[in-house]
Amino acid sequence: LTTDPSVYKDTVLVMPNLYGDILSDLSAGLIGGLGLTPSGNIGHDASIFEAVHGTAPDIAGQDKANPTALILSSIMMLKHMRLDEYAAKIEEAVFKTLADGKHLTGDLGGRASNSEYTKAII
């Protein structure tokens, strides 16, 4: 998976939660870390979309957390709800902000706060 993730591009991996957690943490490293990793649990009757990372109690209340994973999870939810136009607008703004690099949070090598990063996306 780490040497050639393209092998799994069209694959759904089903496993117990523990192994899913390990695999998602490993995979997050391939794209820049847990702060960028969205998640969707899609069931027959209900779906849940959330960031993969935990609550980060060490930085709680300090305006340091990277909101990208939560925003990308929201985009996944909008797509799941077939609200593709809204999802595309938000996704474009997130990717533009990341590519611009001027308002990155600390985990991405920047100095922006959560609020500054979010304002740049909006």
- pLDDT per position as a tens digit, 35-93: 888 988 888 999 999 988 877 889 999 999 999 999 999 999 999 999 999 999 999 99
| CA–CA dist 74, 90 (Å, integer) | 9
Task: Please give the mean pLDDT across all residues of the chain.
Answer: 92
Q: What is the pLDDT of residue 99?
A: 97
Q: What is the pLDDT of residue 116?
A: 98
Of 115, 9, 6, 99, residue with least CA distance to 65:
115
Q: Would you say 38 and 78 are in contact if contact means Cβ atoms under 8 Å apart?
A: no
| CA–CA dist 24, 3 (Å, integer) | 15
Query: No. of H helices and E strands in the chain?
Result: 4, 2
| Residue 78 tokens, joined | 């909008």
What is the arithmetic mean of pLDDT over 99-109?
A: 95
| Residue 99 tokens, joined | 């590519």
Q: What is the pLDDT of residue 88?
A: 98
